[in-house]
């Protein structure tokens, strides 16, 4: 069996590829030009976006308690919205009408 050496790319190369993708270049064309797979470009983009989100979510000194509470509340809101959507879909499937939102 043939051993393939794993190619390594620099952070600058990855950043440039992600920038080109975000500038509107088609992923297939970009992958062909760079000699890499499209899935690799998309993975680099996901990692770059994740790093941006983590750096933006880093609280300033003294704000960690409030930031943690805000994150917990956002998670809870997301969960409640998902549960509400599931209940609405179940009501449609079972043939009942969802309650109207007149009490907003």
Query: What are the domain boundaries of the chain?
Result: 8-57, 65-99
Q: Which residue has the higher pLDDT, 56 or 32?
A: 32
* pLDDT (tens digit per residue) in 65-82: 888 899 999 999 999 999
HEC profile of the chain = CCCCCCCCCCHHHHHHHHHHHHCCCCHHHHHHHHCCCHHHHHHHHHHHHHHHHHHHCCCCCCCHHHHHHHHHHHHHHHHHHHHHHHHHHHHHHHCCCCCCCCCC
pTM: 0.47
């Amino acid at each position: 069996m043939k051993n393939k050496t794993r190619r390594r790319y620099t952070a600058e190369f990855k950043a440039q590829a992600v920038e080109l993708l975000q500038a509107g270049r088609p992923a297939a064309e970009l992958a062909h030009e760079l000699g890499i797979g499209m899935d690799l470009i998309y993975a680099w983009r996901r990692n770059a976006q994740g790093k941006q989100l983590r750096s933006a979510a880093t609280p300033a000194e003294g704000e960690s308690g409030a930031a943690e509470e805000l994150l917990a509340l956002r998670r809870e809101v997301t969960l409640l919205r998902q549960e509400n959507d599931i209940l609405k879909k179940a009501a449609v499937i079972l043939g009942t009408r969802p309650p109207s939102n007149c009490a907003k």
